Amino acid sequence: MIIEILGAKMLAPFVGTSHFVWTAQIAVTLVALSVGYYVGGRMVDRSPQLGRLYLLIAAAAAYLCVAVLVIEPVAYWSLQFRLAIGSLVASAFLFFIPLCLLAMVGPFFIRILTEALSSVGGSVGRLTAISTIGSVVGTVLIGYVLIPFLPNSLTMYFTAACLLLVSAGYVLIWNRRRLVPLLILLVPGLGLGSVGVAHEGKKSYERWEELHRRNSDFGLLQVLQEKEGVERLYLNDLLVQNTYDTQQKKSMSMFTYMLQGLAHAYKPSIGEVLCIGLGVGIVPRGFAEEGVKVDVIEINPAVVPIAERFFDLDRSKISISIGDGRYFVNKAPNSRYDAIILDAFLGDSCPSHLMTQEAFRSMRRILKPEGVLVINTFSDVDPRNDFFAASLFKTLSSAFASVRIHNAGDGGNTFFVASANTNLVLAAIDFSGVHSAAANRVRGAMAGLRETDPAHGRVLTDDFNPVEFYDAHNRERVRKDLVHMLD
C-alpha cells in the first residue's frame, strides 16, 4: 500500500492526480499482484526455500531505489503520450516489478506455514488477516505521518531500506549461504539510496535559486527566486502557480488582477468577500488593503506560512479557515458575501466537486442578491476543445441568472462571472495598479468577452461530472506548458 499510494504521489508533479493517474496506478498494482501471486506459487511449489523469498524482497528494495532516481526522466518521457497512456506506462515501468516481487511473498509464506492439508484454511486466514492489518497500518502511516512531513523520495528510500534490512536479518542469522547474492543487491541498493538522500531537496536551476521546498498533503511546494532579478515563483507539484515582484511587492500574474478586477467591475461596492483558495494570498491581500472584510477557506495548511514568509501576506488582516471549500460554503449563512472568488487549484485544474450545479447553488445562496461569483479556470473556448468551458457556462446558467466569460484570446486563463443580478454590467476598470508584466493581458482579458457553442457541453452535477475525461487533452497541454516554464 505504501508503494501504491506513494508511487502516485511521486508521479503527481508530472502527470497530475486525475482519475486517469489513479486508475493507472491501481491497475498496475493489481496486475503486478496477480502476476506475483501466480509466479510465486509456481516457484514455491518447485522449491520451497525460504532464502529465495528474502532475496526477492531485497530485489524489490533495490529496484525501488533505482525507481526514485529515474522517476523524473521517466515521467517527463511519458508526457509525450496522452495522459491515460503516459501515466500507465510510467507507473508500470517504475513500480510493476517491485510490486510483483513483493506479491510473491504470499504464496511462499502459505506454503511454508502449512504443515498439513487440514491447516491450510487457518494458515491462509491468519496470513490474509495479518496482511490486511499491515495494509491498514501502511495506509494510515503514509497518509497521516509520512507524506505530510517527509519528502516522498526519502519515504520511498526508507521503505526500501526496511525491506533490505528484513532480508539482511534473515540471511545473517539463518542462511549465510545467501550472503553473496544479498550483497549483490544490498550494496548497490544502499549506495543508490544514500546518493539520493544526499541530494534530497537540492534542485538546481540555471536561472532560479530554490528558497523553500517542502512536501504537503496536497503536493510538493516550492518557492524559487530569480538569481539576477526580482521575480519570485510559487510552485505546486512543479507547476508554476504564481509569480511575484519582490521589489514592487506585486503579483506579475494576470489572473490575480482579473479576479479582483472582475469582482469590482461587476459589483463596484464590496464590503465582504469569500476567497475559496488562498494561493499565496495576493488576491485576499488586495481586497483587505481596500478595507474589505475577507474570509479565506484554504484546504492546505502548509501554504499559509509560505504566503506569510515569502509573499508578504499579513494574516492579521484576513480570516483564514483551513478546510474544504465545499464544506465551508455549505455551512455558511445565507446572503452574506458581496463576492466569492473561486481560485482553488490542485495543479492544473480546479477540484471537480467545486464545479457542479449543486456547488454553484450553494454559492448563490450565500451571496447577496447582486453579489458576484468570479472563477479562474484553465479552459478553452475554441469550439473544437470547449467541453469544459461550455459545460461550466451551462452549469453556472442553471444556478445564476447572468453569466459572463472573459478570455484574452491567448490560450491562457479563462474567467467566469456569475450573478443572480439580471442586469450585469461591466463598469470602467482602473488599470493603474497592474504590474507592467501583466498589463496587456489584463486589458485583453477584460475586453475579451467570449461565448461558447450552446450545442456543446452539459450541466455538471455531483452525480455526473465527466470533465476530467472530456477535457483531458486541454489539461495535458496546460500541465506540459506549466512544467516546461522553468526550462
- Name the band, by pLDDT with cuts 50, 70 and 90, for residue 485: low
- Choose between 116 and 316: higher pLDDT: 316
Query: In the predicted model, is pLDDT for residue 444 greater than 60?
Result: yes
d(Cα 188, Cα 66) in Å, to the nearest integer? 9
Q: What is the set of domains in the chain, with CATH numbers? A: 2-198 (no CATH), 208-239 (no CATH), 248-486 (3.40.50.150)
- Least confident among 22-31, 121-130, 234-243, 433-442: 121-130
pLDDT number for residue 55: 82
* Beta carbons within 10 angstroms of residue 310's beta carbon: 19
**Which residues lie below 8 Å from residue 484, measured CB to CB, with a gap of 6+?**
none
d(Cα 328, Cα 322) in Å, to the nearest integer? 9
pLDDT number for residue 1: 80
pLDDT number for residue 178: 53
Query: In the predicted model, is pLDDT for residue 176 greater than 60?
Result: no
Query: In the predicted model, is pLDDT for residue 346 greater than 80?
Result: no
* Beta carbons within 10 angstroms of residue 190's beta carbon: 19
Pairing state of beta strands 272-276 and 337-342? parallel
The pTM for the full model equals: 0.79
What does the pLDDT look like over 32-48, one tens digit per residue?
999 999 998 888 888 77
- Name the band, by pLDDT with cuts 50, 70 and 90, for residue 198: very low
- Closest-CA residue to 411 (of 342, 478, 479, 355): 478
Quick one: average pLDDT of 139-152? 76
Quick one: average pLDDT of 417-426? 93
What does the pLDDT look like over 281-309, one tens digit per residue?
999 999 999 999 999 999 999 999 999 99
What does the pLDDT look like over 378-394, one tens digit per residue?
888 888 888 999 999 99
Helix axes 105-113, 120-141, angle to 10 degrees: 140
- Least confident among 20-24, 85-89, 283-287, 297-301: 20-24
d(Cα 13, Cα 71) in Å, to the nearest integer? 11
∠ CA(155), CA(17), CA(438), 5° rounding?
110
